[in-house]
Amino acid sequence: MLRKLVAMFLKQSHMRSIFTVGLSLTVLISMSAIAQAEVQTKVQTKDNSPLVRQGIAAHNNSHYAEAEAIWRQILSAEPTSDVAYNNLGNALSKRGHLTEAEAAYRSAIRLAPNEAVRYYNLGNVLAEQGKMNEAIAAYQDAIRLDPSSADAYYNLGYWLKAQDQIEAAEAAYRESARLDPYNASTYYNLGAILSEQAQFAEAEVMFRRVRLLDPDNPNGYQYLGMTLSNRGRLEEAEAVFRSAIQRFPSSASFYYNLAFLLDKQGRSEESANAYQSAIRLGF
């Protein structure tokens, strides 16, 4: 007999980072994990000179070594440019030079301590180095300076969850969702936290929002089906898994979870067929 529902390949959606013109990247944990903190990089410039434009263009085209060289050239002529230090930090971070990137962001903060974006970028590079407490403090500083930053609240929630500070993480995700109500990964992570606390009714709402905002994300279907099952609404859960199978026919976990639900309803032959499909797909 099938024993339980499974969640395959589910992860917390990732960090958001910042380069001061507005580049953004995004990333995704299961009921025991969460969509990853999103990394966006914000590029800054107060100067529209050709060299600055070249540095921004190099970064936007992923020519990070070139961008680094340009920001260093600017700093050699203008060593008090907080913007150049911020953008140098972005280039160094992209190249994986995290210690140097941290130093660049700290220099930017020393020169302009009231710019929220620098604390945000510092938080990201600290998190990448595993300096969780310092990263959390940096995101909190970013929020203090810019309370409207949904990204800072999102990343704060991500790392608070990683530190098992569940209530604080939930609060951060809720504020991120309030500020940016169209980000599916925020609802996914919030739904995962609610599910872990057996708050299945509200978790259902969150996973429905994930499916609405990001219909090509299999995690939304997976967790919505699992949540409905946990609420005893097996026919609705079955419908979700069947819909997911139509949309993602090569996903073994949807067949397995469907088999579990069918078995739970006493539909043994249908359950066996679904389970065989899961096996055939490599479950």
Closest CA to 34 of 175, 203, 179, 229: 203
pLDDT > 90? residue 12: no
Band of pLDDT at residue 36, cut at 50, 70 and 90? very low
pLDDT in tens, 112-166: 999 999 999 999 999 999 999 999 999 999 999 999 999 999 999 999 999 999 9
Which DSSP state fits 19?
E
pLDDT > 70? residue 248: yes
Q: Which two tokens stand for residue 167?
A: 């209530």
pLDDT > 60? residue 10: no
pLDDT in tens, 166-202: 999 999 999 999 999 999 999 999 999 999 999 999 9
pLDDT > 70? residue 104: yes
Q: What is the mean pLDDT of residues 72-94?
A: 95
- Whole-number Å distance between alpha carbons of 95 and 104: 13
pLDDT > 80? residue 9: no
Considering only residues 36 and 272, tell me which one the structure prediction assigns the higher pLDDT.
Answer: 272
Q: Which two tokens stand for residue 84?
A: 């150049």
What is the DSSP secondary-structure string of 44-79? Answer: --S---HHHHHHHHHHHTT-HHHHHHHHHHHHHH-T
Q: Which two tokens stand for residue 209?
A: 């929002």
- Check residue 49 and give its pLDDT: 83
Q: What is the mean pLDDT of residues 259-282?
A: 94
- Check residue 148 and give its pLDDT: 97
Beta-sheet pairing, 23-24 with 40-42? antiparallel
Band of pLDDT at residue 44, cut at 50, 70 and 90? low
pLDDT in tens, 207-242: 999 999 999 999 999 999 999 999 999 999 999 999
Q: What is the dihedral of CA 19, 24, 27, 32, to 10 degrees?
A: 70
